[in-house]
Amino acid sequence: METMRNSLPTAAYPLTQSPDNGEASRTAAPAPCPATAKAASGTARIALCCILGIAAWLRLYHLDVPSMWWDEVLVPMTARLPYERIVERALTLDIHPPLFYLLIKAVMTVSREDWALRLLPALAGVAGVALLYRVGRECISRNAGLFAAVLLAVNPLHLLLSRQVRPYTLVFDLALLSLWAFVALVRGAGWRAMLGICLANLTLALLHFTALLLLGAEGAMLLALACLRRSRRDVANLVFFTLGAAAAAGAAFPFLLGAMSANLSPPNGPQSLAAMAALSSARLGETFWFLPNMISRATITALLLVGVFRLWRADRPTCLLLAGFTFLPFMAVVATRFTTYFNPWHLTILLPAALILAGNGLSLFVPAASARPWFAAALCLALALPYPVFLQERFYAVASHTGPYKSLAALLGRVVEPQDCVVFSDQGLANAALWYADRNGNAGERLRHPHLRPDQDIAGLFFVEIGRASCRERV
């Protein structure tokens, strides 16, 4: 594995020994020639710029299409409420904490267009690619960071979430920041690293409840370090982290109680551990590669395992930390055996460490170190080209994956008369169609409240459902 100088402080002793009698787990390597190091750094920067350009192109291209779907529309519908109603709804009805609604409310003071509402998740998605490179470089190596950035730039789930009014790209970024600060803390950084962990976790807890899984994983690893190394520093880190974690969990707990009481009762009872492990593994595979391609999922999983093995041989402390960030939350999901509203994007917090390890494994297959940055940029472009060419309908078509609500609202606005009645097959469809109708003059009001004048004796009755709309007249 290539060596580099980490900007994060490195631990002065291994994870399993005390500072008094242990020796450093990292062996000193000869410093590279300054000219060679500068050239390698410049090449990596050029490759990273190419990868970021590709990531931005995929995420920002035609950001105003497709139509927002049900869950997307619920965000601006909630965000247009007064601040106190947003918080009250999060305490009683919603399944998410209120922070993302408040962020979108701020965006809506500028614009309510689809592209504007999606701009924050899209920019967070691009920033996540750059941040993943930086953290991968600091944790392992420059090339591991580059290849991790490639895997994220073309990750179908991350791309999809970057183009939706959903909080998961911000969840990814905050989980990555927490990981970065945590590694720095374990390697010997001081109060700034602890402050970074606490701030990232507090913000993440107000953004999504999966933050609690991350808190548990970090707490378990700090507890293990305190028991194994028995140093005052580790005990102090555990104490201060516990206080910060209590603040983050306490901020999210009232909203979690409201969500559980209103929405999250398991309909079929808990799953067995074996069934839950199988389901969670399938969801994790979809997180690695959301499109239905088992070869891609298996390939990334294999790269992750290669990366773990490679890092284990070179730097066991860092390997244990990254593996802990991936597998401890996963084991917690399996142990809780809770499947209601369990989707691949709920495992977004597992992606940062997993992709860094997979990037470390991928870099092994390019023998020439000097060629790795160029290969990373070329690989990113090759994997990105199918999206606008062969996957246009999936990511850039007018219709979302649940329906063309923008077009539907425009059509209804043209054909429905003030006296006509419109019936939607479900509330999600109604929300999406009426959101767009409200932006077309008074079309939304006409669809909600038909008005039959005394001199009229005929009105149309429209029934609208997914994939079909029908109309019949009545006297």
Instruction: Tell me the pLDDT tens digit for each residue of 263-275.
Output: 654 545 567 888 8
Residue 116 vs residues 62, 64, 202, 470: alpha-carbon distances, Å: 12, 8, 26, 33
pLDDT at 21 over 50: no
Q: How far apart are CA 472 and CA 463, in angstroms?
A: 9
Three-class SS of residue 469? strand
DSSP code of residue 9: P
Instruction: Tell me the pLDDT tens digit for each residue of 358-409.
Output: 999 999 999 888 899 999 999 999 999 999 999 998 899 888 777 888 888 8
User: Tokens in use for 418?
Assistant: 């003030």
Q: Tell me, what's the pLDDT at 474? A: 47
Instruction: Tell me the pLDDT tens digit for each residue of 47-58.
Output: 999 999 999 999
pLDDT at 324 over 80: yes
pLDDT at 325 over 90: yes
Place of tokens 């539907």: 408
Q: How far apart are CA 208 and CA 199, in angstroms?
A: 14
Q: Tell me, what's the pLDDT at 31? A: 56
The contacts of residue 45 (CB under 8 Å, 6+ apart) are none
Beta strand pairing status for 459-465 and 421-424? parallel
User: What pTM was estimated for this model as a whole?
Assistant: 0.90
| Selection from 364, 323, 335, 303 nearest residue 221 by Cα | 323
Q: How far is CA 194 from the centre of its chain?
A: 23
The contacts of residue 2 (CB under 8 Å, 6+ apart) are 141, 142, 143, 369
pLDDT at 1 over 90: no
Place of tokens 């293990």: 224
> Alpha helices of 64-153 — where are they, by DSSP H?
70-79, 83-92, 99-108, 114-139, 142-153
